[in-house]
Amino acid sequence: MLCKDFSLRFEMTDVTQKRCFVLFVIKMSQTTCPPKLLQIQNLKSKIPMSDLHTITATVNGKSYTRTIESRMLLSDFIRHELGLTGTHVGCEYGVCGACTILYDNHPTRSCLTLAVQANGHRLETVEGLAVSPTQLHPLQQAFHEAHGLQCGYCTPGILMTMKAFLAENPHPSEAEVREALSGNLCRCTGYQHIVDAVLNVKDEG
């Protein structure tokens, strides 16, 4: 096997393989990364004005106005433009449900929605769920009490999905809860505690 980095060609032994990898990483960090980062930083200023749109959206009761690229995803808008990183991104193609937010009260995959589509609309993310800085939303409290989260990565999407679900169906059966949860994947796979938590909210109601 040959290493072609830095135009050097030599036989790959364990030692040369490691050295080649280290040289490659150094080269990447010294030459490739900075121009690319610079390119990203300068990207916004080079976007034609026709590709930029100024939008205003209400997020968790607060109005935000931003000028954004037409192709920006809503998940990126929420996380990077607004800094609301409670909305997580998993698969980025609509399967896992981690990025679910409420869009005019409807659970919506923010990774499949363009940010420009939020113009004039009302969004809710997990940051807006708590009743006050010292009081959790009943769903959050139930998740806490029933150990409904493990690593927590899927939890914001599940909470937003369940909020809309319980608003429509305040007294669901276990089967209905499981069906409503079927669009949200938990990689820690602790679904029983999640179902228990949602049913506990029902019991409180």
- In whole angstroms, the minimum distance from the beta carbon of 100 to ligand FES comes to 7
Of 3 and 112, the one with the shorter C-beta distance to ligand FES is 112
Minimum CB separation of residue 193 from ligand FES in Å reads 9
Instruction: Tell me the C-alpha distance between 115 and 68, whole Å.
Output: 8
Question: Closest separation between CB of residue 153 and ligand FES, Å?
Answer: 4
Q: Alpha carbon of 175 to those of 15, 20, 54, 100, 117: distances in Å?
A: 58, 56, 44, 21, 34
Nearest to ligand FES of 20, 101 (CB atom): 101
- The closest alpha carbon to 86, from 115, 123, 114, belongs to 123
Mapping DSSP onto H, E and C, the string for the chain reads CECCHHHCCCECCHHHHHHHHHHHHHHHHHHHHHHHHHHHHHHHHHCCHHHEEEEEEEECCEEEEEEEECCCEHHHHHHHHCCCCCCCCCCCCCCCCCCEEEECCEEEEHHHCEHHHHCCCEEECHHHCCCECCECCHHHHHHHHCCCCCCCCCHHHHHHHHHHHHHHCCCCCHHHHHHHHCCCCCCCCCHHHHHHHHHHHHHHC
Q: From the CB of 103, what's the least distance to ligand FES, in Å?
A: 13
Shortest spacing between CB 71 and ligand FES, in angstroms: 16
Question: Least distance in Å: CB of 125 to ligand FES?
Answer: 13
Give the footprint of ligand FES on this chain (CB under 6 A): 89-92, 94-99, 109, 111, 149-155, 186-188
Taking the least distance from each CB to ligand FES, the nearer of 31 and 189 is: 189
Between 20 and 155, whose beta carbon lies closer to ligand FES? 155
Which CB atom, from 20 or from 99, has the smaller least distance to ligand FES?
Answer: 99
Q: Which is nearer to ligand FES, 64 or 153 (CB)?
A: 153
